[in-house]
Structure 1
């Protein structure tokens, strides 16, 4: 493959990833929207437990990112056989990891939720959802390994098709299993978990069939199952552990936020879930560009073209901001007109209550566009340990400020959401400072 720094090249790599990276967002959003129509308790509960499951998904995705970066690096060095071995090493480790995470959700989630949630309703409904959702972790982790391969070699177009399959299947099964339509049993929030699980297995099956018949990947010897390569797996794990830790720290702070917001009451948690649905939609471009910048930066480092890194970082950040605002301004300026067709009038009071927070969301999206791109450029350059230090510092600051806001007498939901702007400004400042140092190129 041959990549450049033009906007067209960035767009070509990023747009399929933007759509493909929407997978977990689409699943979480679809579950939330259907449960919104069922009851306010179900809607509040899915806001909490979905935030937890996104962390679970992020663990698998984080380890696949290490594989993706190594695959892109090998592709930049024109070593196709090593690309295939790296892919299978990623698959092997993801399977082992899936088993460990499944056991934690089976035996440890009860105690974790009990320590975070005060409401019995939210607690038991969250466990009910997780009972059917946890089985999807195997399909999820294998799926992100496949995505890592096609993203790493900059051929992510099929990811778009597979995401459409995932979304369509999940929408149909949510409608069937939550409400008991088409002859299916009415399962409520447990049906949402089962629908998402089945959808992930369907999407994985489609992806595997495509890989089997894809002639272009034969140079990577995908059809040949290599032995367990301890050295290669250690390299992937060594690169991935800081990325996973960053995902856990970042999303864990979000999970912490949801747990604290519950102290404002179940209504505040439901309002926060309304904003979360908008955030899930509007953050899709940024996360897609983030994954794309991982591939682009790693590719240029592998090529020895370090002078292109800052060029592609700034261009990607500007593109990310433009696409995000294009999507975001209609929702933020006209939430009633945009969200009512999706959420209906049944609980319109929740949308009304969320109005002030939507303006805060605009500030979050602007700072997020720059902070996330430069931060992921750091990851793509292989500086995962430094990136972990930066994110941990910012997350500690974020959680401390949120705790003060929630526990104080003057705090409210709008101020609590505003703290995330501080988080992304700090992330951008630290990452930009690193790339401005003349010494950073001497590391390669």
Structure 2
């Protein structure tokens, strides 16, 4: 077990962000935790990406492209609702990490007990909101075609049925991440992914010998929803192991504490609002792409290309989010141990590692954009051609994406959730949404105009998060 706080609380150049290379003796601790979180999130990513990859290989190219366009709406809608309630993890992880670093395992277990209670109610509400609001949201957002609207409605409602499991899974994940057992969610995610791919294959394409009909995109929705409940079952099973149950004593009724619940919810609401704002911005972003498809008579081509671009960018986003989650654990435990300078060093050194990791990815996006996009849509060459230049634009934003994601997660670990929410809200409402409409449908710069707005937004977010982390107010937040 890695000890994150057995390092002297000494300030160094990391506070000022001036050193180019990370302190490897320090960052190895985050890399150890981050490797498990990263693999788990990549595996979780493939649960969702498998839907896009597999429907993109349907024999009917028109159905494949329309299904991918529908997924472009379906996934952000799923994360808009589910992500809002799953933000319970931010408060639960920060509080667990603090209690664990203070040497109080039973109070850390108390956080999980109350987080699970909150997740049951939040998950049920999330299912209801997703199921009833999903069709109306798709009807408003779907611009490319009637097929996109019909397919998207079915998919969104099926995925909504899995929101309850998703929220509770994140409550357990927050606890295990907070105590440094980041490999627990990795185990669940791997099993989920393997199961989801197998069930996807059977339900999307059908199997005559087993009497399973070809369901297309609806089959992908069923498979992903069922896999989510399997993941929750695994997390619960691990929590019942004696080495956790006996030490942390979380399954006791006397652990119920209104103050703990209140604190979890207080930290959840701004983090969830930030997630909701983020997804709403991307949904409107996707709506503007659909308008371009409709205006140019290209069917679902640009919408499918945007979905491929988002999934490609997510291959960068998810590992960074995972590494940021591990950094958040290091930050919150350092603050819990009374070492704010160490917390700052963890944040900046994680950024340095992320920047180094982006170098080959940036090169690949610049050199082989069309080939990368064609991996998502092999049966429709027009999709790859439509998105190639926009992927090159995405490459230019990757350095600041590193800063934005890792430092925002670090600030969540410190408890600065309200600041992150406000920053996200201002940049989405004041930059991403209006600028993507202005440069895209309004001025007629097409896909490249819309994705230029996204690049500007990412750079702005990186600057804001960097400035906040350079300041020292977050070091004194009490949880």
- The answer to whether the Cα contact below 8 Å between 1:282 and 1:328 also exists between their aligned partners in 2 is no
The equivalent residue for 2:18 is none
- The answer to whether the Cα contact below 8 Å between 1:367 and 1:421 also exists between their aligned partners in 2 is no
SS at match of 1:198: helix
Distance (whole Å) between structure 2 residues aligned to residue 134 and residue 440 of structure 1: 35
The equivalent residue for 2:287 is 259
The equivalent residue for 2:193 is 167
The equivalent residue for 1:244 is 272
Q: Residue 73 of structure 2: which of 32, 35, 48 is its match?
A: 48
Distance (whole Å) between structure 2 residues aligned to residue 46 and residue 440 of structure 1: 38
- The answer to whether the Cα contact below 8 Å between 1:33 and 1:343 also exists between their aligned partners in 2 is yes
Q: Residue 102 of structure 1: which of 115, 127, 141 is its match?
A: 127
Shift of 1:262: 0.7
The equivalent residue for 1:2 is 3
The equivalent residue for 1:222 is 250
- The answer to whether the Cα contact below 8 Å between 1:278 and 1:331 also exists between their aligned partners in 2 is no
1:263-313 CA distance string (max 9 Å, x none): 011211011112122112222211101211221111111111111122111
SS at match of 1:21: helix
- The answer to whether the Cα contact below 8 Å between 2:440 and 2:448 also exists between their aligned partners in 1 is no
Give ranges in structure 2 of 5+ residues lacking alignment.
8-25, 59-63, 294-299
SS at match of 1:37: coil
The equivalent residue for 2:346 is 312
Give ranges in structure 1 of 5+ residues lacking alignment.
none
Change in Cα spacing, 1:124 to 1:433, as seen in structure 2 (3 Å) is same
Shift of 1:232: 1.0
Change in Cα spacing, 1:111 to 1:69, as seen in structure 2 (3 Å) is same
1:296-344 CA distance string (max 9 Å, x none): 111111111111122111110111222344455435522455565x447
Q: Residue 367 of structure 1: which of 385, 397, 400 is its match?
A: 400
TM normalised by structure 2 equals: 0.87
Distance (whole Å) between structure 2 residues aligned to residue 441 and residue 115 of structure 1: 43
The equivalent residue for 2:101 is 76
1:295 and 2:296 equivalent?
no
The equivalent residue for 2:355 is 321
Distance (whole Å) between structure 2 residues aligned to residue 398 and residue 136 of structure 1: 29
The equivalent residue for 1:377 is 410
SS at match of 1:310: helix
Change in Cα spacing, 1:231 to 1:3, as seen in structure 2 (3 Å) is same
1:30 and 2:50 equivalent?
yes
Change in Cα spacing, 1:217 to 1:153, as seen in structure 2 (3 Å) is farther
1:426 and 2:460 equivalent?
yes
Q: Residue 357 of structure 1: which of 390, 395, 399 is its match?
A: 390
Change in Cα spacing, 1:225 to 1:94, as seen in structure 2 (3 Å) is same
- The answer to whether the Cα contact below 8 Å between 1:285 and 1:320 also exists between their aligned partners in 2 is no
Q: CA RMSD, aligned part only?
A: 2.1
Aligned residues: 443
